[in-house]
Copies of this chain bind each other. A is one copy, B any other.
Amino acid sequence: MDKIEVNIKFIKQLKQWIEQEASDEIVVILEEMYPQDIAEVIDKIDAESARYLMSLVEKEKVVKVFVEMEDKVREDFLSIYNPTEIAEEFIMKIDSDDAAFILNQLPNKIKDNVISSLTDIEYASQLLSLMSYDDYTAGSMMAVELISANINWTVAQCVEEIRMQAENVDVIYVVYVVDDMKRLVGLITLKNLILSSPSAKISDVLNKEVISVNTSDESEFIANIFKKYDLVTIPVIDVLGRLVGRITVDDVVDVIKEEADEDYQLMSGITSDVDSSDKVWTLSRARLPWLLIGLMGGIASSRFIEIYEDQLHIHPEMAFFMPLIAAMGGNAGVQSSAIVVQSLANNTLGTRNIFSKLLKEIRVALLNGVVCSGLILAYNLAFNDSTNLAYTVSISLISVIIFASLFGTVVPLLLNRIKIDPAIATGPFITTTNDLLGLAIYFSLAHVLYSL
């Protein structure tokens, strides 16, 4: 089995085969492919072709492809199955965390029918409890499949348990150790298990330094713990300290990526998770809110400039540097807010208080402001006739950079304090507000300087 690169050429070839119903060629190539790669192909072809392709995938691989598909594609794919088939062919065969996630995406009626079709009542009730946890909490991320050993067992008993559970639990890195009340008391790595004598007592070989999370802990917090302690898996406990599940690093990698993507999109003025393959209407809807905020900002600044109409009439050169002032305010503000937002997310904000942070921000802004203002002053004195304009632009610029930087620092810090995601303060919001701020400073200053 080789990594087959799912590129345009490969998909073209496959589409051709599908059209010709060349099942022999397709079966051969599908056998060579990893489930993840097949899922990638499925995501990129139409629903009918996808179903045909899935009918040619080997039985044992179908479920793995199913889990890896994009959500929308999977929904479409499931529409040809009845609830009993969905329960038996898919839900029973996949990990509980994936099962709970996929069930939660189904329409309510189908979801209920699928769950009541499950023949394993205990598993059905486990799934129901997984499905009830809030999104982005440990409870909603965890799987219930895990190997646990009682602290009173021997190593041999523990190995026997692994043998019995081997079919249910695909990947095992550690065995969690619990007491008679099912409370988590430690862990044993498979390495230690291999190196220990079969007759040794678990209580003698276990590692009590086990980091765990609670079912209600948030995904971002969990991701930070994985990153900090270099974990591969973490046990999840309930309020009584009982072991109820485990979270593996692959899910955490997804969380880290999703959160970074979200911050990036907020910064660029996109409100929901979209990518370039989404529908026109979806893309438009994700982008329109920020454009409308920009529009309102633009209208506000037009009202503001209108106040100075008479002055513009006499000194139209005042208009020359409006875009510069507005843009620089926006740029400086976005830089400041980005640094704060990222420091908050990475927990590298330092321990100083808000005032020393602002003081530092003022120093950075002053430094950059002096450089930029100096350059533009030199330019204007050299190439522009109006010294009034030259001084107005430079003094405005340095003021704008300082105010915009302070504003960009304070807003995300305040939002964070009142538990609102500071990332929404970046991008269009800061840019729009600082456009206005910049123009206000520029025109007020011009008004004063020109009337001297």
Q: Footprint of B on A, CB under 8 Å?
A: 1, 3, 7-8, 11, 34, 36, 40, 44, 159, 162-163, 166, 171-173, 189-191, 193-195, 208-209, 211, 225-232, 248-250, 252-254, 256-257, 260-261, 263-265, 267-270, 274-277, 280-281, 283-284, 287-288, 290-292, 294-295, 297-299, 301-302, 305-306, 309-310, 312-313, 316-328, 330-332, 334-335, 337-340, 342-343, 346, 348-351, 357, 360, 363-364, 367-368, 371-372, 375-376, 379, 401, 426-428, 431-432, 435, 439
Contacts and interface: CB of A to CB of B under 8 A. Distances in A.
A326 B439 CA distance: 13
A339 B250 contact: no
Please tell me how many copies of the chain the complex holds. 2
B312 A327 contact: no
A267 B290 CA distance: 16
Contact of A294 (B159, B291, B327, B426): B327
Given A162-B191, A190-B191, A253-B256, 9 more contacts: A256-B257, A257-B346, A267-B268, A268-B335, A277-B350, A284-B368, A291-B372, A299-B379, A318-B319
A342 B265 contact: yes
Contacts of A257: 227, 256, 260, 346
Contact of A327 (B343, B367, B435): B435
A431 B338 contact: no
Contact of A338 (B268, B322, B351): B268
| 5 closest residue pairs by CB, A with B | A298-B324, A260-B260, A268-B338, A312-B316, A230-B250
